[in-house]
Amino acid sequence: MTKRIALVTGGMGGIGTAICKALAAAGHIIVTTYSKPGKEAAWTADMKALGYDVHAYQCDVTNGEQCANMIAQVTAEIGTISVLVNNAGITRDGSLRKMTVEDWRQVISTNLDSVFNVTRPAIDGMVEQNFGRIINISSINGQKGQFGQTNYSAAKAGMHGFTMALAQEVARKGVTVNTISPGYIATDMVMAVPQEYRDKIIAQIPIGRLGKPEEIASLVVWVASDMAGFMTGANLAINGGQHTT
């Protein structure tokens, strides 16, 4: 396969790292972002020790100017981005009656505004080369909602609205745009939740277990491949049967 450049935002988290590893193993050159200095050197060293071609750029994905500058820098230093995985996200949970304006804005900005901020400067290069894969990592809670997550659910649902509209704009240019909506995944954050609460979550999943980050990553690799060229504007739910539509 052609060696392509894949940008994964939020690529140093649990699901993000799995996506980076899987895309790298499939032959992609990996670029990821980090907002604050700290773990990027160790993360990059670990990935390169595994033989993966990775590059990390500091960028606040809520800042449109920083995103545009980052895309320009990546393009100049490495090449045109062919695969974009919008994976950056945060939670600030609480019932709407107790939610602060800041809690709302931070989640919408990080989870939804970032999709525009990063995709907008990246799309031109994809259109010019007549190939692109934009993959937006949403959530089961963007499909069904979740108590205490009006901000998160709104942002994740908005991601798929973005997907469906942009897919129609760039389909004839060889660029596909799709959403992946994971259910509850066994990341470090989820595994840190007390066992009794995890058991309650698992009880709602027909398959009877949490998902694995590698399962999400495997789906991303396929969506990014040439074989997925006829699929665009779709939302792929991977949640163990917890929510079906």
Q: Work out the widest C-alpha separation in the chain, in whole angstroms.
A: 52
Of the listed 34, 57, 152, 184, which one is catalytic? 152
Element (H, E) at 162: helix 150-170
- What is residue 131's three-state secondary structure? coil
CA 199 to the chain's CA centroid: 26
CA distance 91 to 99: 12
- Nearest alpha carbon to residue 238 among 170, 178, 193: 178
* Active site (annotated) includes residue 152: yes
- Cβ-based neighbours of 161, under 8 Å, separated by 6 or more: none
- Cβ-based neighbours of 13, under 8 Å, separated by 6 or more: 87, 187
Residue type for position 120: R
Residues annotated as part of the active site: 152
